[in-house]
């Protein structure tokens, strides 16, 4: 990497390696940005807090003992994951420490597979296995691109000042992007507990209405003859947003098919979700439904 050239890092590689590099680099940066701009990812009160996600994987993951230990340090882990995703994505696009970045992406995908998508059946519906294979293919594709010439060391040469500076620039860019994301979080003021989520007029008996919960996450309220009740719409599997299927009377997740029964405390009735969907406390006050 001593004679680093951005253009050469692309030109020297096969088309298939370039395609994987482009896709994986952009996807990892997008993954980091998604977390950085998510107001709930580092907020322990949110249903999509990283600690809550880890908690949700415990029931099905073969590495649940490790995940259990990580929960205590969930916020620090969240920062680490976010910065690592940015750093790997930037390094892959820039062509810096490419093999190391590919191994990092491979490691992340394997951990995600063993935690988040282990319970997805059949396995090909979970994306982490595909990403693990793509990262491994990128690693070997890059190794092979050093045709007959020098085989770059996987671990960067930390005695080379310019190499250290370039890697330092990647780290600074990753941290800056993680911090910049917070500026784009929850632009709309989130309703406070006690704020109306619906009027009785817009929620007749038998009706449902989507609303934004006090922590900013999406939720849905139901009204029956017996009263009102509400659920988070954040799937307990991997955080996709569930929708109410009025025909089946179930909350259904579009990502991997989890279904929850709102008439049975949000119980899982199908799919890989490990725990019931979270309840949100609501009550009728006057002519309104409020979150309490």
Residues that bind ligand FES (CB under 6 A): 235, 237-238, 240, 253, 255-258, 271-273
Q: How many CB atoms lie within 10 A of CB 78?
A: 21
CB of 59 to ligand FES, least distance (A): 14
The stretches of the chain forming alpha helices (DSSP H) are 6-11, 15-36, 50-57, 64-71, 74-94, 98-115, 127-144, 161-181
- CB closer to ligand FES, 228 vs 253: 253
CB of 93 to ligand FES, least distance (A): 28
Distance, CA of 239 to chain centre: 7
CA distance 41 to 45: 10
CB of 136 to ligand FES, least distance (A): 24
- CB closer to ligand FES, 51 vs 272: 272
Reduced to 3 states (helix: H, G, I; strand: E, B; else coil), residue 72 is coil
Query: 122 preceded by cis ω (within 30°)?
Result: yes
- CB closer to ligand FES, 262 vs 272: 272
What pairing do the DSSP bridges indicate for beta strands 250-252 and 279-280?
unpaired
Residue 9 in tokens = 């890092």
CB of 285 to ligand FES, least distance (A): 32
CB of 281 to ligand FES, least distance (A): 23
Question: Taking every pair of C-alpha atoms in the chain, what is the biggest distance, in angstroms?
Answer: 79
- CB closer to ligand FES, 21 vs 256: 256
- CB closer to ligand FES, 17 vs 109: 109
């Amino acid at each position: 990497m001593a004679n680093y050239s951005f253009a050469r890092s692309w030109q020297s590689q096969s088309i298939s390696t370039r395609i994987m590099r482009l896709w994986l680099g952009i996807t990892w940066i997008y993954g980091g940005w998604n977390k950085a701009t998510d107001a709930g990812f580092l907020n322990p009160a949110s249903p999509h807090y990283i600690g809550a996600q880890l908690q949700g994987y415990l029931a099905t993951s073969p590495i649940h003992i490790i995940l259990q230990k990580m929960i205590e340090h969930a916020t620090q882990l969240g920062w680490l994951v976010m910065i690592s995703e940015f750093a790997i994505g930037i390094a892959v696009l820039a062509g810096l420490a490419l093999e190391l970045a590919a191994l990092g992406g491979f490691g992340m995908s394997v951990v995600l597979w063993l935690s988040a998508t282990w319970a997805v059946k059949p396995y090909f519906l979970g994306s982490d296995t595909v990403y693990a294979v793509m990262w491994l293919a990128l690693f070997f594709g890059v190794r092979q691109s050093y045709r007959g010439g020098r085989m770059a060391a996987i671990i960067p040469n930390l005695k080379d000042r310019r190499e250290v500076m370039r890697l330092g620039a990647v780290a600074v860019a990753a941290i800056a992007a993680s911090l910049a994301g917070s500026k784009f979080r929850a632009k709309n003021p989130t309703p406070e507990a006690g704020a109306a989520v619906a009027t009785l007029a817009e929620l007749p008996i038998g009706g449902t209405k989507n609303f934004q919960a006090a922590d900013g996450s999406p939720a849905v309220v139901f009204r029956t003859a017996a009263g009102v009740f509400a659920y988070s719409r954040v799937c307990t599997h991997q955080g996709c947003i569930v929708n109410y299927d009025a025909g089946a009377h179930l909350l259904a997740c579009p990502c991997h098919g989890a279904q929850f029964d709102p008439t049975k405390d949000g119980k899982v009735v199908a799919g890989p979700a490990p725990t019931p969907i979270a309840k949100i406390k609501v009550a009728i006050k006057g002519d309104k439904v409020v979150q309490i």
